[in-house]
Structure 1
Amino acid sequence: MLPSNGFTANALLIGSALEMVLLSFALADRINVARRSSEQAQARIAAEHAMVEMLSDSERRLKTVLEEREIVLENSIVGICFLTADGRLRWANRAMMEMFGAGGRPIVSMEPFYLSRAEYLEVGAEVAEAVAHGRTYERELQVQRFDGSRLWILLTGKAVGQDALHQGTVWIIRDITRRKDLEAQLQRTMSEREAILNNAVVGIVLSVKRRHEWVNEKFAQMLGYPRQVLIGQGSDYLHPDTEAWQRFGVQARAALQATNGYNCEMQLKRRTGELFWVEMGGSCVKPNDPDSGVIWTFLDITGRKKSEAEMREALEQQKALNELRSRFVAMTSHEFRTPLAAILSAEELLRHYGERLPPQERRETLDSIAAGVQRMSRMLDRVLLLGRADAQMLDFRPQEVDLHALCPRLVEEARQQHPQGSAKVECRVAPDLPPGLYDEKLLRHIFGNLLSNAIKYSPAGGEVHFEILRDAADTVFRVADQGIGIPPEEVPHLFESFHRASNVGDIQGTGLGLAIVKNAVDMHGGRISVDSRLGAGTAFTVRLPAGDRARPH
């Protein structure tokens, strides 16, 4: 069918044009696809070239690294080797070959270097166990070289593959022979020093922050503990109490910080609780730093302290003896002079005028001689009595004594000794006081002296009371006067031989009476006490056990 008009013709032209455009587009797409394929091929070729170049570069770097590592391993100062899973030596560096003296000889296995096959197998089993648990194996052991000489090595190894031996093991071997020799030498030196320190005559302790880090055997023996028990212990147990321990710590620390040393003498406590004397000396491990540790030495000076105490006691006894001798000389020169002068005067009177003296005056002169002799005799008797008491040779013979009859007689005898005395003496014995067991002779010494002193040291008169009563199982005797009294500072010395109070003035006395009284009271197992006020009087109280309780002290 043919077109009939212009519109139809144009439409045909437009359609043809569109077809041409579409054909051109399709052709262009094919050209673009071909171009892209070409470009992609070129890119792949370039990438492949780059990959090849990169791989070549990596191979070169890897080779360089391997060569460097080979040089490092080969020239390492420690032995390095690789063992296969069956224990064959695959590779070893030069240090290891030299360590075992291989020279050019090949090494197939490590077994020849072990001292025994048993040890070789033991190490193998331990290695297997370590690898199985993912651990690095390490052990010090003694091995031998090719020539048979021995050396100590530190063997360290691990598996190439994790937790498995099938890929083999890598080992580092260090020669520690020198270190082992030094350790052995150090051990010998320490053993020698330990022996020296343990056999020292003084106790030695290393203390850190007041705890024993080390003690020697002498120190342990000194305290009575096993040595092992003391190591790690604090030092508080050494001291008598916590307060003493704390006080010592403060003093010692201050001295150590100031002078780096501290010395003292003090008492410590043994395991049994017994206290003993030591001379201590300490010095810091680091200068003036007690926290770094302190080395203490202990010297048992208990024997020396005992000797010093005995020496001081001997000196005190000598001093007391000298004082006693001086008192005795003073007493005898004074007490003997008066009766001797009277005797001498009476003797001269009788010698020159005896025939002309009336009979009465001659008897009085002879009586004065007899009185002087009796006075000296009594004084010598007291000295001898005191000597027997001090030598524990005084007889004690208790018998039943009726105090109702004895005590008034003692008062009367005291009055007769001091006929010129102006004091009034009263004796009161409890009506219900039963007889008791006493040594009557010693009772006379006790109360004869006390009553005599009461009258003698009451020059202004006054009253003297002698009271006797029962208190439970004791008989209490009290002699009180209103005399001159005793200075308070001299009361503790009243019962010492030849001691006389400083306020007695011209009143005669030997200073022996109260010493005799004290010994006689002690022989009865009793007690004596004194209460005195200067210028107001003195009261002595004697308590003696009555009945079968009476016994020597």
Structure 2
Amino acid sequence: MKNLLINISKVTNTVLKKHSINDALDLYLSDIAKEQQIDSYTIYKNKTKNGIITFHSVNKRPDNEINNPNQNDHNYDNFSELYEILSKNKSLHGLVRDNKNVISKKYMETKGIKSYLFTPIFSETTFWGWISYTICKEERKWQEEQIKTLHTVAKNIGDRLYKDKINIKLKKTLERFDFYMAGSNQAMWEWNIKTKKTTYSHNWEGMLGYTEEEIIQDKELWQKSIHSEDMIQIAIDLEYFVTQKLNRYEGTSRMIHKDGHIIWIKYSGILKKNKKGKPTKVIGTHTDISEIKEKENQLELSEAKFRFIAENTTDIICQQKMDGSYYYISNSSKEIIGYTPDELINKKIFDYIHPDDHTDMLNYYKAFLNCSKNKTVTYRFRKKDNAYIWLETTLKTILNHENIIIGIQTSSRDVSDRIKATEEIKIAFEKEKELNEMKSRFITMASHQFRTPLTVIYSNAELIELKLDHFDKNTHQSLEKITLRIKNEVDRMIELMNNILIFGKYESEKIQKTIKVLDFNTFINSLLNLYFNNQHHKRKIQVKIKGEKHFFITDEILMTHILTNLINNAFKYSKGKPDPLLLITYLEKELEIEVIDFGIGIPENDIQYVFTSFFRASNTTAITGSGLGLAVVKQFTDFLNGKIELKTQENIGTRIKLIFPYEKK
């Protein structure tokens, strides 16, 4: 018995201290079996599956661990007495022949077992399994002291199993903690108050840039790393915290990285005491908040810029809640609307809107919040003196980090002068429009009223010509000159009235296009025969056509006005010179029309004014004209989507080119 207690004491110590419980149990089982002449021993481990508890043997072999199960599971239902006793942390022992459980008895008899001892193993309060000691050589009765001692050993094994279980959980927790710490920007430290020694976690390496060896070897690393301007305050706070004059140890400070740049740290600590309540150490954390600090600095700078702009701009800068109530207003409100910012805070913009604009503004705000696009709106706002001014306001949504609208930012300016000017311009435009209509009506009336007497004058001149044959030769020649002069002046007046009438219609925007397909070659032949077949001295315009003919889509009447004016000018300003030339060129996408004369040309200083209404060149004073011909040509060419080009030289001639696209009907 003495040897048993010695062995058990030695083995129990080994079980509790040895690194591997497998090695301890191997030593324990072999020594116990040898000392007590036990033929076999087996450790059984419980397993629960689908609510059913079974047990299986755990075979200790060099190539597998203690918790590797045998595939043969046994159900406690067949060994009810076994589970009932062992689960109550009691040992079960006896002779096989006295066993009342038929199944258990038969099982052990087949194994040649004559005596047995089963001791339960509990891990804390959990029935982990049990140990079976069996003797086959003889029917040996187990002594009470022996039973208690072996039961105690099983209990120690259970304690070791529980310890291992706790260690495994603790290891996983520490691994998880290390993982989180390694992935964060937080470092831990521990300061021993008595030894003044500081211990650092590994995150300090990345935070300050030092290696682990440098951190371990440098006992004054912390003091050297704190920014000199922050060191005194931190030392005072720490001293007050340790002496319990300060309840909390926390704050922000600057630290110096190994490469010299500054990092911002948020620190905090807790005080640990011994059983007597005496402080022993401070455990704390340092968190790198440099990035947050930088963003805070940028935000402060942005806010400062915003405040500077808002307070110095002539516009009213406001921030409103979703219901239109103000929570920020720039100081410019005092100058523009008479209210100080404090007078408008928490007031709603809709309370100051002109009644005629109120409903529109409510609907506008709702639509703006639904679409979230920047908008500009003009409305009337009641000033502090109850007068209304026109404000032009640009609205922009204010979003949070989740892109949810939390407010509205507005920029408003006084546009009363602009609105007034716009109204004045509108009134002036209406007056000008009315005046143009009156002018147009007058021109139309005058043109029609002048036609009748001019027609009478022209007819009487022709009647006089018919009677010239009754006079002598000298009288005939004299009167013929007079009638010719009368007819020429009547033609000039009709031409002037036609141009004025057409020009007036264009100015009053009453001219409409009548677009149709035109055979341009046929159109030119008809125009020349109708208007230019009886020129003085039998002059004729020379026509040249190039390219493959295209059907031209245009307004025939407007095109007639354009070409008659150009050809008239070509004849008029080239008397005594070679006949003018009409060149028509059919290009792939457009039609070119050139009217070329070899007459007096246009002085260089006058070229810029030739398309101006009622302008006549300085070298045309001896030649009759209205000064409207080229103005009509330019206006109608633009109206038909064409382009006009002018080349001229005084005493050499003039070339005017018209370019029209082949527009589709």
Question: Which TM-score band applies after superposition, normalised by the shorter structure?
Answer: 0.3 to 0.5
Normalising by structure 1, report the TM-score.
0.41
Return the structure number with greater relative CO, CA threshold 8 A, min gap 6. Answer: 1
More helix by share: 1
